[in-house]
Amino acid sequence: MGILEQIHEKLENIDNELSELKDAAGAGQPHLIDGKAALSTDDAMELLGIGRNKLAELTKSNQIPYMKIGSRYFYPVSSLLNWLRITADDNFKGLNEDTQLKIIS
């Protein structure tokens, strides 16, 4: 087997492994926590590690994704996880380079 065939075979193996990882991680599947696509106020507080007042403040100021059904508030898991990622990324980018290096090392 020539070098190009070996490279092609290795690339195919890597592609297959990536596909298996995506399947195992549920890529393309809806995000659920405890089988729920949206969290109650109490569940969102627990996930975020914040109190009721802070969650209410974030909700009323439209700083966090939510939906209101009747008088109850719900927090879609997918949107909430995306919000966490974006907020963390923005906070990380605001740090100076030395602090960023300390965090990732």
Average pLDDT of the chain is 83
- Going by the DSSP 8-state scheme, the letter that residue 50 receives in this structure is -
Confidence of residue 19 (pLDDT cuts 50, 70, 90): confident
Which pLDDT belongs to residue 10?
85
Q: Which residue has the higher pLDDT, 1 or 5?
A: 5
Share of the chain above pLDDT 90, in %: 38
Pick the CATH number of 35-104 from 1.10.3720, 1.10.10, 3.40.50, 1.10.1660: 1.10.1660
23-70 pLDDT, tens digit each: 655 556 667 777 788 999 999 999 999 999 999 999 999 999 999 999
Cβ neighbourhood burial of 75 (10 Å; 0-12, 13-18, 19+): buried
